[in-house]
Amino acid sequence: MVPAQGGRLAPELPAPSQPDRYRYDPTDPTPSVGGPLLAAPGLNVKAGPVDNRKLEMRPDVLVYTSDPLVRDLEVIGTVAAELLVRSSLGHTDFFARLCDVHPSGRSVNVCDAILRVAPGGPGPEADGTLRLRIDLWPTAHRFKRNHRLRLQVSSGAHPRYARNTGSGEPLATATKLVPANQEVFHDPEHPSSVSLTVPS
């Protein structure tokens, strides 16, 4: 991933760059928008594929977008995001979502997943970064010509997933809410990426 305006997904290795940063505040958790969930009548929650543009305007959501496709691209099977990250907290979450960006700019969710980070999990690299593999839901999706792929990175999808309070307290009884300062790296030493399963 090479940073550009809004961040860029590209097939080549990234150039030297500074990490992208955002702040996750559990008092204003990143909301859930679409996805595989059951929405009860009367709740202001939309399930399935929806337009993510409003969500992507939030300061606690990073986006990385490819160039327009020159031909249709079929993705069938597993999707995974490998992120090199650093957080100010030991207890935090990272959420990744693959979207299909239409020529109109409409950004529609395809698949996603969240990973909860806590002390005792995978240890940090020598420079303090964590290497996280987030296995998104498998998919069968055709990205059409002139569409673009987009990877979202954030730290929540509330209320679909319980917000991470950052305190390490049990989620059901936590009273302390601690914001997390997050960094996502994309340089030659920290080549964050997304991998897709494409039929041969």
Is 67's pLDDT higher than 70?
Answer: yes
> What is the structure's pLDDT at 35?
85
In a domain, 1, yes or no: no
Q: Give the confidence band of 68 by pLDDT, cuts at 50, 70, 90.
A: very high
Query: Within a domain: residue 57?
Result: yes
Cα–Cα distance for residue pair 127/72, rounded to 1 Å: 40
> What is the C-alpha separation between 77 and 138, in angstroms, rounded?
5
Is residue 142 pLDDT above 80, yes or no? yes
Domain around 186? 20-37+46-196
**What pLDDT does 41 receive?**
59
Higher-confidence position of 195 and 47 = 195
**Is residue 11 in a domain?**
no
* Paired sense of beta strands 107-117 and 62-65, if any: unpaired
| pLDDT band, residue 5 (cuts 50/70/90) | very low
Q: How confident is the model at residue 3 (pLDDT cuts 50, 70, 90)?
A: very low
Total domain count, the chain: 1
Answer whether residue 19 shows pLDDT above 60.
yes
The distance between the two most distant Cα atoms of the chain, rounded to a whole number of Å, is 51
- Domain assignment present for 8: no
Residue with more model confidence, 126 or 66: 66
What's the whole-number mean pLDDT along residues 186-196? 93
Q: What is the per-residue pLDDT for 39?
A: 61
Categorize the per-residue pLDDT at 105 as very low, low, confident or very high, splitting at 50, 70 and 90.
Answer: very high
Residue 1: pLDDT band (50, 70, 90) is very low
The CATH number linked to 192 is: 2.60.120.260
Q: Are 34 and 46 in contact (CB under 8 A)?
A: yes
3-state secondary structure of 99: strand
5, part of any domain: no
Is the pLDDT reported for residue 9 higher than 80? Answer: yes
- Measured between alpha carbons, how far is residue 164 from residues 25, 85, 119, 175, 176 in Å? 9, 17, 14, 12, 11
The chain-wide mean pLDDT, for the chain, equals: 91
Answer whether residue 177 is part of any domain: yes
Residue 4 lies in a domain: no
**pLDDT given for residue 44 in this prediction:** 64
pLDDT > 70: what percent of the chain? 93
Mean pLDDT value across residues 144-163: 96
* pLDDT the model gives residue 124: 85
Is 26 a domain residue?
Answer: yes
- Residue among 50, 28, 27 at smallest CA distance from 37: 50
User: Quick one: tokens of 143?
Assistant: 């990205």
